Chains A and B, each alone.
Chain A
């Protein structure tokens, strides 16, 4: 078993019957449907929430500027999040199929990094704007009764505190770990393209 011919003969013996082509079409449709459903659901959910909050402005006519600013901030947070989400999904599918493996890997790495950066940055921004908007929004209604105000703000700030100082760092840490592992893999393979040039 020492010459090239033998390897080729063995290689070709691998069982490799093509599955029915219908399975392929089905899979292609599944991919398509899955990403569309996700896109539509997220958009509907956030747009509906924004409309709901907007309708509060319309129907309840808040008097204080802080409430209006709060509403605007909440809507801005959602729109920004949506924009990032909608931009991100097609990002990774836009790598040209005509690139060679070396270029493809570099491009894929760059996009992956961009995606992760966008995710973390937008998540922080979204959360920050949402918390701030909520706090401003509630002020007008909370200020009418002191005990109510204390309870509502205590609860809200506890929630914000837990999310910001506990959940967010935890999520960022696990994302960073994953990213580091990923970059390490990319580096290892990129290194292989350099050898012997």
Chain B
């Protein structure tokens, strides 16, 4: 598969994963671009038995964690998204609220739930994260409960 096709096909998933992690469109775009730069560089070395999607999402997750070395670049608001300074158009409040809730979780939980919402199966999530499948299952369950609870209060 040519890199440009990979980029077009997978950009959305990578961007959303980063967005779930930082909840800031500009920073998410940066991390997503850094991810694809690595994908571009490493693609020729990719073993044929490695699943492409999982591989890309693994790089993206690692790039998100790498944000730790940078200064606190993404201040997050604790309150509901009333009207941010520069509201991206056509995104509904509920979508914003979901991303905000996710970005407030613990770092690893942010990645786990984002991968789950991207339809990555749980054993692959476990593989990407370096956790046991049972641990991933329990955590997804807990995170969903928490999100449901937040949404109940929000509505």
Contact with B along A88-127 (1 / 0, CB 8 A): 0000000101111111110010001000000000000000
**Assembly CA distance A181 to B58 (angstroms):** 26
Please give me the residue from chain B that is nearest to A6 by CB atom.
Answer: B151
Contact residue among A14, A97, A189 (Cβ-Cβ distance under 8 Å from B42): A97
Residues of A within 8 A of B16 (CB): 11-12, 14, 16
A2-B148, A15-B90 are contacts. A23–B135 as well, Cβ < 8 Å? no
**In A1-52, which residues have CB < 8 Å from any B CB?**
1-2, 4, 7-8, 10-16, 18-19, 21, 23-24, 27-28, 31
**B7→A186 contact, CB < 8 A:** no
At the interface, yes or no: A63 with Cβ under 8 Å from chain B? no
Residues of B within 8 A of A99 (CB): 58, 62, 130
Residues of B within 8 A of A11 (CB): 16, 20, 95, 98, 114, 117-118
Residues of B within 8 A of A197 (CB): 131-132, 135
* Besides the known contacts A97-B58, A101-B61, 14 further A-B residue pairs in the complex with CB atoms under 8 A apart: A1-B152, A4-B144, A7-B144, A10-B98, A13-B92, A14-B15, A14-B16, A21-B7, A24-B40, A98-B50, A101-B58, A102-B130, A108-B66, A193-B130
A78 to chain B, nearest CB (A): 28
Q: Which B residues fall within an 8 A CB radius of A? A: 4, 7-8, 11-12, 15-16, 19-20, 29, 33, 36-38, 40-42, 50, 55, 58-59, 61-62, 65-66, 68-69, 88, 90-92, 94-95, 98-99, 106-109, 111, 114, 117-119, 127-132, 135, 138-139, 144, 147-148, 151-152, 154-155
Residues of A within 8 A of B127 (CB): 100
Please give me the residue from chain A that is nearest to B108 by CB atom.
Answer: A192
Residues of A within 8 A of B118 (CB): 11
Contact residue among B88, B107, B138, B152 (Cβ-Cβ distance under 8 Å from A15): B88
